[in-house]
A and B are shown apart, each in its own frame.
Chain A
């Protein structure tokens, strides 16, 4: 499975508290109505706290315009300027209906009308958008203009912070219009459009001049005038001259950026609210016992005087202990009775393992456990998630994922590694990603070394059915979890120092 890259932007890995960007209580009153109502619904319909991942409320921009007006350039410019991980461009080009044999023959003679709304599979597009909002994986069909048909290939996308829907009929369908937060119409002179269209179709889509002109005269232009032009009335914003209109585009992008900042602030504030409402339920939480050996190990790991080579050595030991504890906490259905024959020919009663183990590490903090994983489970598949916190706000952002696939027929137990739980935001997002990839909450075990009470509370309140959360040391928040007096506010529990020390990046 390839590592899907979401964005070129890699921020530093600080994961501290949530600071709202201005340090003030952010403009929550100006939240768009849509978001307000949906959050109210979730609170009333569910007694438990619920995490609303950013991808369940994507910011949707529709970009419509005549064929060749520069919709794609404008969309790409938006993507480039926004610089957000998880910006998805959905092009109407991918949603042409597959043609029947007759239609196909017509198409090759340039006699098929591709430019009516009927030639597009808008139902699927609406369905896909809804699925993305639900956090499901969506297979986007890939259309071949040379073959006039859908190819076997699909592009899989999952979740999105920002979705740009681009196509001549982007502002046509009522259902799509209702979902959009911003509707843009790119208005370019039809002569310019024709010139661009000819260049594109002949140079890049393998058509000939006469065919293209025939299509333009017969179908494209009449449809543009009849169907597309009226949709300009649905737009919030019309951009004349397409991508040449830099001021217009920049104004629009500024508006979008403002809206997105507000969205992050709401996301952060919700994360912040989590864990405030309920107490800490420790029925699925295991902290390592405070034995002499472990006390000695904690002392080595927390001490200022420990050299880096020793720190790595001791952390590997701690990692193995945590993982062994996690394995011990797998429920009885992971085991079956088994009889083996020893080399001397005796029968020995024992148990067999009935699960496929999967390790998932959150880059980079979880990577400190790699040695422990290799020493304990030699052939386990290892998935990775890159979740970074935005430097200025502390908002967690998912950048890429590479996960083993879910297999319904197998009992897959997932171990999710992160060396520290500070705010809990990273892990909440990571668990949500796993659940979105069909893994069951009951099969997820979290392995972590240091955890704050508030972070743990957030996680267990949002995901009450996790198999287990294994913690090396839990700090004291409202309750007394450790007799040594380690507190949530202590430096060790508020800073990601473990991976810095482990990987030597200071």
Chain B
């Protein structure tokens, strides 16, 4: 499962240089919106249209086609391809396609003058997109479907079971979105709060499905700032036997610091986010951010 759509970035070949200045060796600007061919360290080869990139060589490609490798010999490519749609290649970070429409939605929820009704409505819309992106990463198995008129359809069905785990309180706002896509999904809860004395997150409460170790887990928390509480939640999940590469962390907005911290500690957890902001400020708020999501969603 791991790396089916999301490739770990390699340090060989073209990648970030050493030294304090993090500059890309390659200037990708001239390839923007053009067809590019990317070869990965593991031998995979894809082609696609370059829609976005950053200096860390995270790439956003559209209309991606992967060349299928010879099953006998991994290093041999065949002529056959498969469509992957829009994919972000990077450190297990999946960024939703940054379309005008999505950026427009973010402009609404970032705006402090947005009324709560609109904030909830448009956040829910983004959350749905995140959940669907996550569901798209689950493994499937091919199967033949009997259609109404008697013909057949070579479709697929999902393998494995999922469950949601929300971090109380803000994470609960994302449960609706998950339920909208998977009606009877099990949802566990974790309460983590900051210990005022030590300024570190502390686990207060957890209630998770018994068989969580067999499941793919959608960890729900709308903001990834420092990643402190989410990392503690991952720790809880791991201690319950969940495999690291089966955890998908869904959030609306992430700070680069948080992504990095997460990636360093849990390299196989996939982060699915709708936006990556500039940085954290001295109070550990995301800049520019959108305020306290829980407060705005629950109106306090």
Contact = CB atoms under 8 A, between A and B. Distances in A.
Contact of A348 (B101, B102, B288, B296): B288
B289 A303 contact: no
Interface residues of B, number: 55
Contacts of B103: 350-351
B30 interface: no
A332 B100 contact: yes
Contact of B112 (A342, A378, A487): A342
B20 interface: no
A490 B145 CA distance: 14
A491 B150 contact: yes
A343 B296 contact: yes
B104 A353 contact: yes
Q: In the complex, which range does the number of interface residues on chain A fall in? A: 35 or more
With most chain A CB atoms within 10 A of its CB, the pick from B112, B129, B281 is B112
Interface string B79-102: 000011110000000000101111
B128 interface: yes
Interface stretch (B35-43, B152-160, B194-202, B255-263): B152-160
Secondary structure of the B side of the interface? mixed
A412 B222 CA distance: 33
Given A293-B136, A344-B289, A375-B125, A491 B148 contact: yes
A321 interface: yes
A298 B121 CA distance: 27
With most chain A CB atoms within 10 A of its CB, the pick from B106, B140, B149, B291 is B149
A206 interface: no
A328 interface: yes
B118 to A, nearest CB: 8
Given A293-B132, A350-B107, A299 B121 contact: no
B125 A334 contact: no
A347 B156 contact: no
B76 interface: no
B104 A351 contact: yes
Contact of B146 (A304, A327, A328, A490): A304
B130 to A, nearest CB: 12
B68 interface: no
Contacts of A352: 104, 107
Interface string B110-130: 111100000001001100110
A195 to B, nearest CB: 65
A304 B84 contact: no
Interface in B126-176: 128-129, 132, 135-136, 138-140, 143, 145-151, 153-158
A60 B149 CA distance: 44
A304 B112 contact: no
A407 to B, nearest CB: 21
B145 A351 contact: no
Given A299-B157, A304-B147, A330-B100, A324 B110 contact: no
B287 interface: yes
B207 interface: no
A335 B102 CA distance: 11
B292 interface: yes
A491 B151 contact: yes
Contacts of A376: 125
Contact of A490 (B101, B135, B149): B149
B22 interface: no
Interface in A447-476: none
Contacts of B136: 291-294
Interface in A325-378: 327-328, 330, 332, 334-335, 338, 340-344, 346-348, 350-353, 375-376, 378
A303 B146 contact: yes
With most chain A CB atoms within 10 A of its CB, the pick from B125, B135, B288 is B288
A484 interface: yes
Contacts of A290: 83, 85
A449 B155 CA distance: 16
Given A296-B140, A495-B149, A340 B104 contact: no
A324 B129 contact: yes
Contacts of A343: 112, 290-292, 296
A294 B156 CA distance: 9
Contacts of A338: 107
Interface of B: 63, 83-86, 97, 99-104, 106-107, 110-113, 121, 124-125, 128-129, 132, 135-136, 138-140, 143, 145-151, 153-158, 180-181, 183, 281, 285, 287-292, 296
Across chains A and B, which 3 residue pairs bring their CB atoms closest together, nearest first?
A: A491-B149, A350-B107, A299-B155
Given A294-B136, A328-B101, 20 more contacts: A292-B156, A298-B153, A303-B145, A303-B147, A317-B132, A317-B181, A330-B101, A340-B107, A340-B111, A341-B112, A342-B112, A346-B289, A351-B100, A351-B104, A351-B107, A484-B153, A486-B151, A490-B149, A491-B149, A495-B149
